[in-house]
Chains A and B, each alone.
Chain A
Amino acid sequence: MKRLSLILASAAALIAAPLAAQTTAITGGKVVIGDGSAPIEGGTVLIRGDRVVAAGANVAIPADARRIDATGKWVTPGIFAGFSRIGLVEVGAVSQTNDMNATGSPFSAALDVQYAINPFASAIAVNRAAGVTRAVVSPSTAHSIFGGFGAIVDLGQDENPITEAKAFQFVELGETGHSRAGGSRAASHAEFRALLEEARTYARNPAAFDSDLLKASDAKALLPVIDGRTKLLIHVESANDILKVLDLRKDFPALDMVLVGANEGWRVVEHIAAAGVPVLASALSDLPYGFEDLSSTQSNIGRMKDAGVKVAIGMINDRDAHQLRYSVQYAGNLVALTKVPRATGLTWDEAFAAISSVPAEIMDMGGQLGSLKAGRKADVVVWTGDPLELSTQVEKVIIDGVDQSLSNRQMRLRDRYRDPTPGALPKAYDR
Chain B
Amino acid sequence: MKSRTLLALAAGGSLLAGCAATASDTRSASAATPVRVSASSGPAFPSTYKAYPSNPTAITGVTIYDGEGGRIDNGTVLMADGKISSVGGPETAIPSGATIVDGSGKYVTPGIIDVHSHLGDYPTPSVDAHSDGNEATSPVTPEVWAEHSVWPQDPGFSRAMANGGITSLQILPGSANLFGGRSVVLKNVPARTVQAMKFPGAPYGLKMACGENPKRVYGNRNRIPSTRMGSLAVERQTWIDAQEYRSKRNDGKPQKRDLGKETLAEVLDGDILVHNHCYRADEMAQIIDMSKEFGYKVTAFHHAVESYKIADILAKEGICSAVWADWWGFKMEAYDAIPENAALLQKAGACVIIHSDDENQIQRLNQEAAKALADGRAMGIEISDAQAIQWITYNPAKAMGIEKMTGSLKSGKMADLVLWNGNPLSVYSRPDKVWIDGALMFDSSDPKRRPVSDFELGQPGEGDVK
Point out residues on A near B: beta carbons under 8 Å.
89-95, 98, 100, 103, 122-123, 126, 140, 239, 264, 267, 282-291, 293-298, 315, 317-319, 321-323, 325, 329, 332-333, 335-337, 339-342, 388-393, 410-411, 413-414, 417-418, 420-421, 427
Contacts of A336 in B (CB 8 A): 427-430
Closest Cβ of chain B to A73, distance in Å, is: 14
Closest Cβ of chain B to A203, distance in Å, is: 35
Name A393's closest neighbour in chain B (CB-CB): B378
Evaluate contact between A287 and B360: CB separation under 8 angstroms. yes
Evaluate contact between A414 and B379: CB separation under 8 angstroms. yes
Q: Give bound CA distance, A322 to B330, whole Å.
A: 8
Q: Give bound CA distance, A389 to B422, whole Å.
A: 13
Closest 7 CB pairs of A and B: A295-B461, A332-B427, A93-B331, A390-B370, A92-B330, A295-B460, A285-B1
Q: Give bound CA distance, A391 to B423, whole Å.
A: 12
Q: Give bound CA distance, A382 to B404, whole Å.
A: 46
Q: Give bound CA distance, A413 to B332, whole Å.
A: 16
Contacts of A418 in B (CB 8 A): 344, 379
Evaluate contact between A294 and B459: CB separation under 8 angstroms. yes
Evaluate contact between A417 and B460: CB separation under 8 angstroms. no
Q: Which residues of chain B from 1 to 56 have a CB within 8 Å of any chain A CB?
A: 1-3, 6-7, 9-10, 12
Q: A341-B445, A414-B379, A420-B311 are known contacts. Are A288 and B367 too (CB-CB below 8 A)?
A: no
Evaluate contact between B374 and A417: CB separation under 8 angstroms. no
Evaluate contact between A239 and B461: CB separation under 8 angstroms. no
Contacts of A393 in B (CB 8 A): 374, 378
**With an 8 A cutoff between CB atoms, is B335 at the interface?**
yes
Kindly identify which residue among A92, A267, A296, A337 contacts B331, using a CB–CB cutoff of 8 Å: A92
Contacts of A325 in B (CB 8 A): 326
Evaluate contact between A93 and B212: CB separation under 8 angstroms. yes
**With an 8 A cutoff between CB atoms, is B230 at the interface?**
no
Q: Give bound CA distance, A264 to B466, whole Å.
A: 12
Evaluate contact between A290 and B12: CB separation under 8 angstroms. no
Contacts of B125 in A (CB 8 A): 288-291, 293-294
Interface of A: prevailing SS: loop
**Between-chain CB contacts (< 8 Å), 8 pairs:** A89-B329, A289-B125, A318-B1, A322-B328, A336-B428, A337-B430, A414-B338, A420-B310
Q: Give bound CA distance, A420 to B155, whole Å.
A: 42
Evaluate contact between B459 and A420: CB separation under 8 angstroms. no
Q: Give bound CA distance, A197 to B110, whole Å.
A: 61
Contacts of B447 in A (CB 8 A): 342
Instruction: Give 9 new A-B contacts, CB below 8 A, not counting A289-B2, A413-B308, A413-B336.
Output: A89-B329, A91-B332, A298-B163, A317-B3, A322-B330, A341-B444, A389-B428, A390-B374, A390-B425
Q: A92-B329, A94-B332, A390-B427 are known contacts. Are A294 and B308 too (CB-CB below 8 A)?
A: no
Evaluate contact between B338 and A410: CB separation under 8 angstroms. yes
Contacts of B359 in A (CB 8 A): 287
**With an 8 A cutoff between CB atoms, is B83 at the interface?**
no
- Count, A-B residue pairs, CB within 8 A: 183
Name B428's closest neighbour in chain A (CB-CB): A336
Name A337's closest neighbour in chain B (CB-CB): B430
The 8 A CB mask of B350-375 against A (1 = contact, 0 = none) is: 00000000011001100100110110
Q: Which residues of chain B from 113 to 143 have a CB within 8 Å of any chain A CB?
A: 124-127
Contacts of B329 in A (CB 8 A): 89-92, 122-123, 321-322
Q: A122-B329, A287-B360 are known contacts. Are A95 and B12 too (CB-CB below 8 A)?
A: yes
**With an 8 A cutoff between CB atoms, is B103 at the interface?**
no
Contacts of A90 in B (CB 8 A): 329
Closest Cβ of chain A to B376, distance in Å, is: 10
Contacts of B461 in A (CB 8 A): 264, 267, 294-297
Q: A318-B1, A340-B430 are known contacts. Are A92 and B155 too (CB-CB below 8 A)?
A: no
Evaluate contact between A296 and B212: CB separation under 8 angstroms. no
Evaluate contact between A319 and B310: CB separation under 8 angstroms. no
Contacts of B348 in A (CB 8 A): 420
Contacts of B428 in A (CB 8 A): 332, 335-336, 339, 389
Contacts of B12 in A (CB 8 A): 93, 95, 103
Q: Give bound CA distance, A199 to B303, whole Å.
A: 49
Q: Give bound CA distance, A315 to B374, whole Å.
A: 23
Q: Give bound CA distance, A283 to B427, whole Å.
A: 14
**With an 8 A cutoff between CB atoms, is B407 at the interface?**
no
Q: A294-B461, A322-B329, A341-B444 are known contacts. Are A287 and B427 too (CB-CB below 8 A)?
A: no
Q: A294-B459, A340-B444, A391-B374 are known contacts. Are A289 and B311 too (CB-CB below 8 A)?
A: no
Q: A91-B335, A239-B460, A410-B338 are known contacts. Are A388 and B427 too (CB-CB below 8 A)?
A: yes
Q: Give bound CA distance, A126 to B159, whole Å.
A: 30
Q: Give bound CA distance, A100 to B330, whole Å.
A: 13
Contacts of A89 in B (CB 8 A): 329
Contacts of B7 in A (CB 8 A): 317
Contacts of A421 in B (CB 8 A): 312
Evaluate contact between A390 and B124: CB separation under 8 angstroms. no
Evaluate contact between A417 and B159: CB separation under 8 angstroms. no
**With an 8 A cutoff between CB atoms, is B455 at the interface?**
yes
Q: Give bound CA distance, A393 to B371, whole Å.
A: 10
Contacts of A410 in B (CB 8 A): 328, 337-339
Max chain B CB contacts within 10 Å: which of A91, A285, A297?
A91
Evaluate contact between A92 and B367: CB separation under 8 angstroms. no
Contacts of B377 in A (CB 8 A): 391
Evaluate contact between B464 and A297: CB separation under 8 angstroms. yes
Contacts of B337 in A (CB 8 A): 410
Q: Give bound CA distance, A225 to B448, whole Å.
A: 49
Evaluate contact between A323 and B326: CB separation under 8 angstroms. yes
Contacts of B330 in A (CB 8 A): 91-93, 319, 322
Evaluate contact between B426 and A287: CB separation under 8 angstroms. no
Q: A287-B159, A336-B430, A391-B425 are known contacts. Are A298 and B464 too (CB-CB below 8 A)?
A: yes
Evaluate contact between B460 and A100: CB separation under 8 angstroms. no
Kindly identify which residue among A98, A103, A123, A333 contacts B364, using a CB–CB cutoff of 8 Å: A333
Evaluate contact between A98 and B425: CB separation under 8 angstroms. no
Evaluate contact between B124 and A318: CB separation under 8 angstroms. no
Contacts of A94 in B (CB 8 A): 331-332
Q: Give bound CA distance, A282 to B339, whole Å.
A: 23
Contacts of A295 in B (CB 8 A): 459-461, 464, 466
Closest Cβ of chain B to A418, distance in Å, is: 7
The 8 A CB mask of B407-444 against A (1 = contact, 0 = none) is: 00000000000000110011111100000000000001
Name A427's closest neighbour in chain B (CB-CB): B309
Closest Cβ of chain B to A122, distance in Å, is: 7
Q: Give bound CA distance, A318 to B3, whole Å.
A: 6
